[in-house]
Amino acid sequence: MSTAQLAAGAPVPAVDRTVVGENLSLPLFRALSGTLAGHPYLKVVVDRAEETWHVLDTAAHPFHVDYVATRILGMDLAELDASLDEFNASVYMDPGRRFLLGVLSLHTDEDAEGRERTFLVLETTEADTMHAELLEYFHAFVRERVDARLPLLLKPANHGQEEELVAVSEQRVPRILSHELFGTRTRTPLNTGEATGRLRCFGSVEEYEAAAAGLGWSDIVAMPCLPDDVQRVAGFVNTAPITPLSHTNVLASGWGIPNAIVRDLPEIAERDGLDGAWVRYRVQDDDVTLERLEHAPELAAPVWHQQRIRLEPPLLEDAPVLALHRLRSADRDRYGTKAANLGELHHVLDSRSADLTAFHGRPRPPRENLYGHLAARLGLNGPSPDELRTAATSFVAGTVEAPDGVALPFSLQHRFLTSVPALQQGLGKLKMALELEATDVLDPLCLQIQQLIRNAPMPESVAHEIVRAFPGPLAAGDRLVVRSSSNAEDLPGFSAAGVYDSVTTARGTDELLDAVRQVWASLLSPRSVRLRHQVGISLDDTYMGVIVQVYVPAALGGVLVTCNPTRREDFRNVYLNCSAGSPEQVVEGAVLPHQYLYNTVEGGGRTVALGSPIEGQPDGMRSRLADLSLTGRLLQSHFSAPDVDAPLDIEWLLTDQGDFRLVQIRPYAL
């Protein structure tokens, strides 16, 4: 067995078992491999010039590029760092490259007869642009040198490689796609964390609702798909597939509680008697565990019991109903966060003056910045800073639109509430109950107040201001969408995802006014009042603005977050979900969407999971979704300032005319 030669000046690991030119047996694989996402893996380097390969000791060599530069080419790390981007291009993008870099991982599944099957998977890095000939050569080279008893499947690392392989038969290059390999994993981390609590298993929403009153902060709720109105508990477990961008996972992220998909939990719970038992629940980047505890532990109250969030005082003096494009982010204290952010989006797209390059300007050692990568994505060669900023804003404005609509200020809700004496009395009782921690009377009080809001007559002056903003659509009987825009949402430590109501089917004056009252009433729902009270948000400071828009049919809709929610250290990728129809279907968990990761630095994308229908998006649409993902990353520079690494949560739709429209922008809770 030969070993790799060390370059002068390169750090020498204590033990380096890397082999060069040798065939790979299963015992040798296990000796050299590490573990990633629960699977053994190791790195390989094929040297086409020498017609040999290097099988890297994972513990000694965590990075392909460092190994190639220092161990094969004799460079030192300082020299590599000084030319890292050029070096990466030579090994990942040059069509005539000398080195082919890949990962071999070991997997087990069942064949058609139910027998266990062990197989190897070969893939490149996500940014690799290997063409079909190189992919075929890479697979054949490795196939000749690994245990012949193990099937070897090539996994395209991105959509570009998938397209390259279309013309290559699967007999010549057997393959497996990412969603086929990982889409049926038994356990999938969604939100990392650890909790000790009592496991409560439910088979349906009806079972959960029947037991919800008896659940507490130390419970861990497990069911196929948690409802959006799930209460705050210690942890979530989904026993059926769901997207990381669902409302419930956004809540888990915002609340800092573990959440994962554990498909085998029903069988394990029945076998080990876990339902109702105390467990230690851990969700890590590559592992999910549930450990039964023999005795109920002594638990301290959760941190959020001491959490106190203070709102900026809302401005309640009379303010006009305004078109969204007339708002800016500073108007959140009069119209709510959601409306203000959409107004700010109009400003960014119209003014072209915003700097959307700040994220790419952050140092990413050893790089001083990512401006060169952004310039390449925008088709520029050595632009000045001003040219790069102009190109970025033009790209965003050419990719997406901001929605039209009007925003109703807090002052309209305030005038309505103060016009009904019974409402004032009910709100007074609710405030007293909150002060006295009389939680047993909260729910009936909230329900009573909501009923009053939905049925109380609206002052004529308030109704007139709302109706006159939509004379044409109301006369034509157009379908209207009425959305919430509170000052108590999209806050650090309090996302309120899915907590407040929206109405998407209003037609005519009466239905519009009813929908506005319903959105106002959602501010006083038992759940929203309890959640705000838990984090110290005062009822006196909480108000609801409303957004009214003409309904726009959506051919495609979804959500993207400008991060990888399952790998927080990943600054390259944007996670995008989509399905036919409106984005609400994705966030509410009504459908299992298509799920993609798009690299917004080097470019390229890959399919994480296919939902329903099974077929993914065509190549042309996937390319447009890549542009949408880069747009989200660029907008992050503006909407997340000054912390441009703070990700955004963006709901979007594709109109019947083929235009992307962003319908909501908010911080993504991490």
Q: What is the pLDDT of residues 470-517, one digit of tens each?
A: 888 898 899 999 999 999 988 777 777 788 999 999 999 999 999 999
Tell me 325's DSSP state.
G
Residue 153 tokens read as 């499947």
Identify the pLDDT of residue 307: 66
Identify the pLDDT of residue 619: 80
Is the pLDDT at 610 greater than 80? The verdict is no
Tell me 521's DSSP state.
H
Highest mean predicted confidence (pLDDT) among 225-239, 248-262, 367-381, 484-498: 367-381
Identify the pLDDT of residue 65: 94
Mean pLDDT in residue range 185-197: 89
Q: Which of 499, 493, 535 is nearest to 230 (CA)?
A: 499
332 close to 314: Cβ distance less than 8 angstroms: no
201: left (phi over 0), alpha (psi -120 to 50) or beta: beta
Q: What is the pLDDT of residues 393-405, one digit of tens each?
A: 999 999 999 999 9
Mean pLDDT in residue range 137-166: 95
Count of beta carbons in the 10 Å neighbourhood of residue 174 = 14
Going along 239-345, which residue ranges are E strands? 259-262, 278-284, 287-292, 322-323
Mean pLDDT in residue range 342-356: 93
Instruction: Look up the CATH architecture of domain 553-667.
Output: 2-Layer Sandwich (3.30)
Identify the pLDDT of residue 94: 96
State the pLDDT confidence band at 15, using cuts at 50, 70 and 90.
confident
Identify the pLDDT of residue 2: 39
Residue 594 tokens read as 């298509």
Q: What is the pLDDT of residues 525-582, one digit of tens each?
A: 999 999 899 888 999 999 999 999 999 999 899 999 999 987 878 899 999 998 888 7
Tell me the C-alpha distance between 560 and 572, whole Å.
14
Give every CB contact of residue 454 below 8 A, 6+ residues apart in sequence: 514, 517, 518, 521
Residue 288 tokens read as 């999910």
DSSP symbols for 647-666: -EEEEEEEETTS-EEEEEEE
579 close to 595: Cβ distance less than 8 angstroms: no
Identify the pLDDT of residue 470: 87
Identify the pLDDT of residue 111: 66
Q: What is the pLDDT of residues 19-71, one digit of tens each?
A: 999 999 999 999 999 887 667 999 999 999 999 999 999 999 989 999 999 99
- Contacts of 348-354 with CB under 8 Å at 24 or more apart are 348/393, 348/396, 348/635, 348/638, 349/396, 349/397, 349/400, 349/401, 349/402, 350/325, 352/390, 352/393, 352/394, 352/397, 353/393, 354/393, 354/637, 354/638
Percent of the chain whose predicted confidence (pLDDT) is above 70? 93
Give every CB contact of residue 201 below 8 A, 6+ residues apart in sequence: 222, 223, 265, 266, 269, 274, 275
Tell me the C-alpha distance between 234 and 283, whole Å.
13
445 close to 433: Cβ distance less than 8 angstroms: yes
Report the length, in residues, of the chain: 670
Q: Which of 101, 100, 119 is nearest to 109 (CA)?
A: 119
Is the pLDDT at 8 greater than 80? The verdict is no
Q: Whole-model pTM?
A: 0.86
Please classify residue 613 by burial: count the beta carbons closer than 10 Å to its beta carbon, then call 0-12 exposed, 13-18 middle and 19+ buried.
Answer: exposed
Mean pLDDT in residue range 288-303: 84
Superfamily holding 406-550 = ATP-grasp fold, A domain (3.30.1490.20)
Tell me the C-alpha distance between 225 and 234, whole Å.
17
Q: What is the pLDDT of residues 96-127, one digit of tens each?
A: 999 999 999 998 877 667 778 899 999 998 88
Tell me the C-alpha distance between 623 and 257, whole Å.
35
Indicate the domain borders of the chain.
19-176, 187-298, 406-550, 553-667
Residue type, 206: E
State the pLDDT confidence band at 183, using cuts at 50, 70 and 90.
low
* Beta strand 116-123 pairing with 19-20: unpaired
> Three-state SS for 388?
helix
State the pLDDT confidence band at 333, using cuts at 50, 70 and 90.
very high
What is the maximum alpha-carbon separation in the chain?
89
Q: Which of 311, 353, 310 is nearest to 328 (CA)?
A: 353
624 to 360, 618, 630: CA distances (angstroms): 21, 10, 10
Summary mean pLDDT of the chain: 90
392 close to 374: Cβ distance less than 8 angstroms: yes
Identify the pLDDT of residue 524: 96
Percent of the chain whose predicted confidence (pLDDT) is above 90? 70
Query: Interhelix angle for 385-399 vs 337-351, to 10°?
Result: 120
Superfamily holding 187-298 = Phosphohistidine domain (3.50.30.10)
Phi, psi of 225 (to 5 degrees): -150, 115
161 close to 73: Cβ distance less than 8 angstroms: no
State the pLDDT confidence band at 252, using cuts at 50, 70 and 90.
confident
Q: Does this chain's domain 187-298 share its CATH topology with 406-550?
A: no
> Three-state SS for 386?
helix
> Three-state SS for 575?
strand
Q: Which of 557, 575, 559 is nearest to 567 (CA)?
A: 575
